[in-house]
Chains A and B, each alone.
Chain A
Amino acid sequence: GENVEQHPSTLSVQEGDSAVIKCTYSDSASNYFPWYKQELGKRPQLIIDIRSNVGEKKDQRIAVTLNKTAKHFSLHITETQPEDSAVYFCAAKEPHNNNDMRFGAGTRLTVKP
């Protein structure tokens, strides 16, 4: 089955700096890659996603890039703000496997004011 690895496990940046979180996946057939943000004590919420027919997607300060050849995808947050502090999860979906999504272990991002 699919295996998703996420790095780093913790990331600390100064407010205004950029943050990058990287994930790799094992199944070349995976075709959907969402990112979730989980604030302290709250549920994970979808913040951006990308499909395998697209190399990059941007939504305001966040962007996701996908390299299908290398089987990795990344989350980029620019001009970070303290409210970006949270745990971020990547995931990969296999189209032929009914158990759907596999998640990375998460990255705890801290943005220092």
Chain B
Amino acid sequence: DADVTQTPRNRITKTGKRIMLECSQTKGHDRMYWYRQDPGLGLRLIYYSFDVKDINKGEISDGYSVSRQAQAKFSLSLESAIPNQTALYFCATSDRGVVYGYTFGSGTRLTVV
């Protein structure tokens, strides 16, 4: 679905660099999430937001930060990237009050060397 867009699609960065991953959505959903996917570990929640300026830690928030300045945008930052943050990152959205599954973005493959 083009309605949840992540940029960049692929990124290689060096250890210690700051990097930002962007997510934007046109679905009008209130809730946005950042997940990390590693082989054999499934999808693990990093941060989530239920509204503009609302930020909540997930299972594995250490080493990450997020910003939700607008309803449609949710960005994930790695302040000082390390190799074990190499993973596939997904943004997802869901609608408040409606028990539906998530809509995932296309993913960002991040490699930290």
Contact = CB atoms under 8 A, between A and B. Distances in A.
Interface of A: 6, 9, 31-32, 34, 36, 42-46, 49, 51, 89, 91, 93, 98-106
Interface of B: 31, 33, 35, 40-45, 48, 50, 56, 58-59, 90, 94, 99-107
Contacts, number: 57
Chain A interface helix/strand/loop/mixed: strand
Given A99-B59, A101-B45, 18 more contacts: A43-B90, A43-B104, A44-B104, A45-B104, A46-B103, A89-B43, A91-B101, A93-B99, A98-B56, A99-B56, A100-B45, A100-B48, A100-B94, A101-B102, A103-B42, A105-B40, A105-B41, A105-B42
B98 to A, nearest CB: 10
A43 B107 contact: yes
